[in-house]
Copies of this chain bind each other. A is one copy, B any other.
């Protein structure tokens, strides 16, 4: 897998970093079952896909777009992870002791999401252990990523967190040093666990210090080495 950089230490982006498909592990009959019991839905930018606490009826497969997976309560929102093309979401609700969604999902950009009937998914997990083993791996991959974010957001201060997320966006989401940011400063605030004003101030500092170039929505990482240092030292 192509990488922009390879940050030391625990970051927002920590992951095992291994592409895994799951569909191909199904038999033809099982694939057909999925096809028959799923629909692909288009969402516009900013739409809500599902809400924390609602009944979980589907597993989500992101065919196109960029979404956030998040916890919300009152006015607080905590983004657990960003998800891009070809990722499964909602796996946490396959636990049948838990029929409620453990998080909300909404889109940053226009997106296409295939919604797979959760009972079918459970059935396949029970009958196909290669498939279910792969799903365990995917769950672990997600978990590792969330651990990284957990560490970053609780142990680092503003500059470190901002460096973390910029590296993560370049490395993992856009796979390019330069990208068009589909998130507002307020979104970046949710993502880094800081206020909108802090986002603005720190991004400006980074720009003044020559760490990044930035013009409106366009961002380019100029000095990845120093960003990594910032990410490392907090």
Chain B residue with the shortest CB-CB distance to A148: B71
- Which residues from chain B contact A96 at a C-beta distance below 8 Å? 137
A54 shortest CB reach to chain B, Å: 15
- Which residues from chain B contact A142 at a C-beta distance below 8 Å? 143
Check if A10 sits within 8 Å of B73, measured CB to CB: yes
C-alpha spacing A140/B135, complex, angstroms = 12
Which range contains the number of A residues in contact with the other chain?
35 or more
Residue A95 contacts which of B102, B128, B141 (CB distance < 8 angstroms)? Answer: B141
Flag whether A86 is at the interface (Cβ < 8 A). Answer: no
A141 shortest CB reach to chain B, Å: 7
- Which residues from chain B contact A130 at a C-beta distance below 8 Å? 126
Closest 6 CB pairs of A and B: A129-B129, A18-B97, A95-B140, A76-B155, A16-B98, A95-B137
Check if A80 sits within 8 Å of B147, measured CB to CB: yes
Check if B147 sits within 8 Å of A71, measured CB to CB: yes
Chain B residue with the shortest CB-CB distance to A19: B97
Check if A9 sits within 8 Å of B95, measured CB to CB: no
